[in-house]
Amino acid sequence: MSAISTVLLGSLSSGDHVIAQRGLYGATLALLADLAQRWGVEVTHVSGHDVEEMRAALRPNTKLLYLETIGNPTTRIADLPGLFAVAREHGVMSVVDNTFATPVPCRPIEHGADVVVHSTSKYIGGHGDALGGIAVFADRERHRRIRDYSCQLGATAAPIPAWLALRGLRTLSLRVQRQCDNAKLLAERLSADPAVTAVHHPSLESHPDRELAVRLLDGGAGGGVLALDLAGGREAGRVFTDALRLALAAVSLGDVKTLVSHPAGTSHRQLDERRLEAVGIEPGTVRIAVGIEHPEDLWADVRQALHKVH
């Protein structure tokens, strides 16, 4: 979040307008809401999938476009090339959070981003034991300016987490490849289970952004996160998550260990059904941030937990 805060605070002034995707990571949305309330920054939310909607949202004072490559937890993919092209045409700076995708299958600067941010606490660190973040710049001058600002804010990485992030980079491509393969296998098998009403993963032909996934995620590697909707709703989500033995019920992602979360029972438990629906989450939605375990061990665990909700 300090990388994201530095980029936003270091780029925006009162009176600027931001176009931001709906359903961003909660703390990013809260930061934008705070900038709107206390700094007089205007924010318009868009789907991230519709170039015409983005054009309609543009104002003379639009300064920044903010997207996430893969949305949480429904794994919708933002139309990075389409929206970045409109931003460029209008002199608007494009920022994208590529944490869920990682630079292994997706490098947004190749698609026109000006700044790419990553929480290195996730896939880059890879072991769930170090907090950190980075911002990657397409432009040297912008990098220099925002780097200087990060020193003023004190948003500087501590040495040991920085070292752990760099060490994580050495195995990033192997881990992410395995996580994508494991996620694809789970997505395919879960799709055939009667207790599951929908599976969300960009590797599936049924995914609403499948064509974008093929273009943006190195031929359709869908990332390591998938979501499933359990027919039994909130109670089934709780039973399923509690029954897992190999996977761990925890909110983070990008760990070598599979982490499973049930938003309606944990991070989003304060939302009623109507408000859950507004953020694209069903009472029985479960997110699986797949690790690098043996795929059959992982499937055996998921299958035994599913039996508890049949």
Binding site for ligand PLP (CB under 6 A): 1, 25, 68, 97, 99-100, 119, 121, 131, 133
Nearer to ligand PLP by Cβ, of 83 and 236: the residue is: 83
Shortest distance, CB of residue 266 to ligand PLP, whole angstroms? 13
Cβ of residue 120: shortest distance to ligand PLP, in angstroms?
7
Least distance in angstroms from the C-beta of 273 to ligand PLP: 24
Q: What is the DSSP string of 71-125?
A: -TTT--B--HHHHHHHHHHTT-EEEEE-TTT-TTT--GGGGT-SEEEEETTTTTT
Nearest residue (CB) to ligand PLP, 131 versus 250: 131
Least distance in angstroms from the C-beta of 4 to ligand PLP: 6
Report the residue closest to ligand PLP, judged by CB. Answer: 119
- Of 68 and 229, the one with the shorter C-beta distance to ligand PLP is 68
User: What's the sign of the alpha-carbon dihedral 93, 99, 100, 105?
Assistant: positive
Cβ(71)–Cβ(21) under 8 Å? yes
- Under 8 Å between Cβ of 250 and 261: yes
Please state the closest distance from residue 283 (CB atom) to ligand PLP, in A: 21
The closest alpha carbon to 73, from 253, 257, 301, 302, belongs to: 253
71 contact partners, CB below 8 Å, separation of at least 6: 21, 23, 48, 77, 78, 100, 280
Q: Are 197 and 58 in contact (CB under 8 A)?
A: no
**Shortest Cβ 186–ligand PLP spacing (Å):** 20
Could you tell me the smallest distance in angstroms from the CB atom of residue 55 to ligand PLP? Answer: 26
Extract the tokens encoding 49: 């999938």
Locus of tokens 């093929």: 214
Q: Spell out the alpha helix ranges (H) of the chain.
A: 2-11, 26-39, 51-57, 80-89, 140-153, 159-191, 210-216, 233-243, 273-278, 295-307
Task: Using the minimum distance from each CB to ligand PLP, give the nearer residue, 73 or 306.
Answer: 73
Nearer of residues 185 and 248 to ligand PLP, judged by Cβ: 248
- Nearest CB to ligand PLP, comparing residues 128 and 265: 128
For ligand PLP, give the closer residue by CB, 230 or 253. 253
Half-sphere exposure of 181 (CA within 13 A, CB side): 11
**Closest CB 125 distance from ligand PLP, rounded Å:** 9
Q: For the beta carbon of residue 146, count every other beta carbon within 10 angstroms.
A: 19
Q: Which is nearer to ligand PLP, 102 or 119 (CB)?
A: 119
Rounded Cα distance between 262 and 288, Å, is 9
CB neighbours (10 Å) of residue 67?
26
